[in-house]
Amino acid sequence: MNPAKVADLDHFRRTTRSTLTRAGWPEPAWYETTPEDTGRGQAKKAVAEGAELVFACGGDGTVTAVVTALTGTGVALAVLPAGTGNLLAANLGLGTDPATGLQVALEGGRRKIDVGVIGDQCFVVMAGMGFDAMMLQDTSERAKRRIGWPAYLFGAAKHLLDRPMRVRIRLDGGAPMPRRAQTVIVGNVGRLQGGVRLLKRAVPDDGRLNVAIVSPNNLVHWAWLIAGVASRRERVPRMETYTASRVEIYSNHAQPRQLDGDLIAAGKAMKISVRHKALLLCVPQPDADPDLAYDARAVAKRAEAR
């Protein structure tokens, strides 16, 4: 749990305990994150102490850290969303209500999903280099607290006319593909904040990552691209899409980078591989949609009925 993201810690603890007790679950152990350790060490400790399921309560940084710790362990992850930018919660349809995430865990839906790996870090939604990371970098925490995910639009507006990156992209060890791109996004699932579906063919457990090379050069190109994504066209102007199990992105200059909506250090390269079905995730039942999204209102109604 990231205590900085929970408005009323005492209320949250009481609600969580009472909900789990009514369902016949044992008393939970609590692990708070710190600025020095955003969740990875705490999740590893929980696993070492015998946890069968770990709830991650926080924003993108907390969830990504816990994902890295739990990958390959067989211990289940349940997301209790807090903050404004939780991409995995958005793909699950959880909104920002931790109670809905609790209900999903209690209902027992589980699914093994793929995990993207870059160095010693993991991600389950999207990694990116370029424009998307710049947008995150230039969106203020104050704006996110006040208006939620639309605050990212202001961060994006600052970089619409930036000069494209010169990059080389290799997929599954193939020949380098030189491109002038605003951003390169590597995704395991397809939805962004606000319900926008960027990667239409992304499936979280097919052993493949989806790659989007986004290359608008002016405001007209951006308008075409945004209209194409919003209208769910099969082919979106100024965007190429591919699938691969290994993705390498190289730039001549260090570029901003992000994993699952959380900034990591800028760098000249991203080398990404996939671990097939390496994370056990609590998901809504029935989990019919291939990108994990579901109707959060239905789960909330079941929670109220209980």
Q: Which residues of the chain have pLDDT under 50?
A: 288-300, 302-303, 306
Same-domain status, 76 and 133: no
In terms of residue numbers, what domain contains 61? 3-116+278-305
- The DSSP line for the chain is --GGG-S-HHHHHHHHHHHHHHTTPPPPP-----SS-SSHHHHHHHHHTT-SEEEEEESHHHHHHHHHHHTTT--EEEEEE-SS--HHHHHHT-TT-HHHHHHHHHHT-EEEEEEEEETTEEESSEEEEEHHHHHHHTS-HHHHHHH-TTHHHHHHHTTTTPPPEEEEEEETT---EEEEESEEEEESS-B-GGG-BS-TT--TTSS-EEEEEE---SHHHHHHHHHHHHTT-SS-TTEEEEEESEEEEEEEEEEEEEETTEEEEEEEEEEEEEEEEEEEEE--SS--STT----HHHHHHHHHH-
For residue range 63-101, what is the model confidence (pLDDT) as tens digits?
Answer: 999 999 999 999 999 999 886 667 887 777 776 778 888
21 and 78 assigned to the same domain: yes
Residue 193 pLDDT: 63
Both 183 and 261 in one domain: the answer is yes
Give me the number of domains the chain comprises: 2
Same domain? 24 vs 106: yes
Query: Are 110 and 189 in a shared domain?
Result: no
If asked whether residues 157 and 222 sit together in one domain, one would say: yes
Task: Kindly state whether residues 250 and 128 are assigned to the same domain.
Answer: yes
Same domain, 170 and 72: no
Q: What's the confidence (pLDDT) of residue 195?
A: 63
Q: What is the pLDDT of residue 95?
A: 66
> Residue 147 has what pLDDT?
77
Give the pLDDT confidence score for residue 84 in this predicted structure.
63
Q: What is the pTM (predicted TM-score) of this model? A: 0.84
Judge if 74 and 184 occupy the same domain: no
pLDDT at res. 265: 93
Q: Are residues 87 and 137 in the same domain?
A: no
131 and 151 assigned to the same domain: yes
154 and 251 in a common domain: yes
Q: Domain of 257: which CATH number?
A: 2.60.200.40
CATH number of 288's domain: 3.40.50.10330
